[in-house]
Structure 1
C-alpha cells in the first residue's frame, strides 16, 4: 500500500490503473474531500456527477454502483464505505468567486487546488468539473432546501473506490473554514492505493 497525505486546504493527484483500489480516509473526522477522476486515454472524459445522477436516478451511488462519465460509461466504482454514508454530488467546488463574495478573495479553494494538482499530473481541462464531495453533509430537506451541515465523519472513516479504466484521480481537502462544512476547521485527508488483495 502507498499513501498520499492531502494537507488542509490542498490537493493532490495520483495515477490509478484500471482495476486499482484506492481509499479516501478522513484522518481527523469532519473533513470533506472533493474528488475527480479523469480518463488517461481521453482526458476530455471525466467523472460526471450529473450523468451519474441521471444514470442511477438517485443523488449518490450505493456500494456496488458506479460513477459514469459524460458518455454514460462507468469510470469509478464505489466498493465500500465505512462512513455514515453522507456524500454530495450537487455542489460545485469552492472557487475564488465564492470567497471573493465573502470578502476573502485570496482564500485557498478547491477549484484552484484541482487545477494545480491536475496540472502537475499533466492534465489540463477546459473547465473544472463538478466534484464528488465525499463526506459532505448536505442532503436536501423535504422542502427542497439544501443546507450544508458539519460533516459527521469520525477519524478513520473511509470510502473505497475501484478504477474501471486508467485514470488520474484528484482529491482536495475542502478549504471551507467559515461555514459548518468541515466542522469549522480544515484538516487532512489521506489517499491510500491498495494492492491487489485490497491491503
Structure 2
C-alpha cells in the first residue's frame, strides 16, 4: 500500500501529472450484445431440473448445460458465496476473474459476462438478473458481487494466524467439492480451484491506503443472482465461513447460512442464441504454427 509519508520529494509538476484524465483500458462497446430481452423471454415456461443446497462453511458442485439458467439464492439469512466455474468438458478452461474485472469492472451485475481463461477467453455465463442491483456503490466505495477478492484460503490464514490450521476456508471447501464430484484426489483437484466471483459479498478499497475491505452484505432471504450458461458448465459454490462478512472470514464464530442453487431448462432456446465459440486468436504468438 502507499506509504503515509513518502520517502521522495513531491515534484514541482505533481499536480499536472496527477490531473491527466483516466482512460478505460478495455472499451467494451464492440463486445457482442448479451441480448438480455431474448434471454429473459426464454424463461417463460422453464422447468427446474436440479436443486443443490450448499451447507454453511462447505461447498457443493452443480452442472449447468449450455442454454440453461442457474440461480444462486439466499435462503434464511445473509450469506456470501464464492463461485468457481469450469467448462464441463475441460477443467483447464475456467473462470478468469482478472480479465472479467478488466472488461466489466470490480463488481458485476445484470448484463455483465463471466469470461474464461486464456487461451479460450469466451463468455462462460451472462448475468441475467441481480436482485441487489439497487445497491450500486455506497459512500465507502463498496458494492456487491466482486471480482477483486481471491477467496479465503488456509494458507493466508496460517500466515496471518502464525500457523493456525483452518480447513473450511472457501479454497478448501471448493477443493473438497471438486474432488468429490470428479473423483480426483485432493492434491489433484486443488490446482483447478481459482479466483472467484464473490456472490453477495460487499467489498471495496479503502481510500488512502487502497486496502481491500469487506462489510456486511446487504443480501436477504429471497435475493438471488441469476446467470445464463453460454457453454456447458461445472460450477462449485462455497458458503463462506465469514457468513455475511461483516467482521471476519475463516471463522467458526460468524453466523452462517446455507445457499441454494437452482438450475432451469427453458422450453426453447433464446431467440438467436448459440453456444459461445472459442476465441478467434490463432495462437501463433508471432511464430509459425508448423514445426521447423
Fold match, TM over 0.5?
yes
* 1:164-175 equivalent positions in 2, closer than 5 A: 164-175=230-241
Q: Quick check: 96-105 or 80-89, which moved more?
A: 96-105
- Residue in 1 aligned with 2:261? 191
- Residue in 1 aligned with 2:161? 102
Q: What is the number of equivalent residue pairs in this alignment?
A: 197
Larger relative CO (CA 8 A, sep 6+): 1 or 2? 1
Tell me the distance in 2 between the aligned counterparts of 1:148 and 1:47: 22
- Verify: 1:76 aligned to 2:125, yes or no: yes
Q: Tell me, yes or no, if the aligned pair for 1:12 and 1:117 is still in contact at 8 Å.
A: yes
| Cα deviation, residue 193, structure 1 | 1.0
1:176 counterpart (242, 249, 252): 242
- Residue in 1 aligned with 2:72? 24
TM-score by length of 1: 0.88
- Residue in 1 aligned with 2:112? 65
Structure 2 counterpart SS, 1:113: helix
| Cα deviation, residue 141, structure 1 | 3.9
The CA deviation string for residues 93-146 of structure 1, in whole angstroms up to 9 with x for no partner, is 111123333364134111111111112221636242111101111122443332
The CA deviation string for residues 29-83 of structure 1, in whole angstroms up to 9 with x for no partner, is 3210000110122211111100111223x11333122110113211111110112
Structure 1 counterpart SS, 2:201: coil
Q: Runs (4+) of structure 1 moved beyond 3 Å?
A: 181-184
TM-score by length of 2: 0.62
Tell me the distance in 1 between the aligned counterparts of 2:248 and 2:81: 11
Q: Quick check: 63-72 or 116-125, which moved more?
A: 116-125
Cα separation, partners in 2 of 1:173 and 1:133, compared to 1, 3 Å: same
Tell me the distance in 2 between the aligned counterparts of 1:61 and 1:44: 23
Q: Tell me, yes or no, if the aligned pair for 1:9 and 1:172 is still in contact at 8 Å.
A: yes
Tell me the distance in 2 between the aligned counterparts of 1:63 and 1:33: 18
- Verify: 1:10 aligned to 2:10, yes or no: no
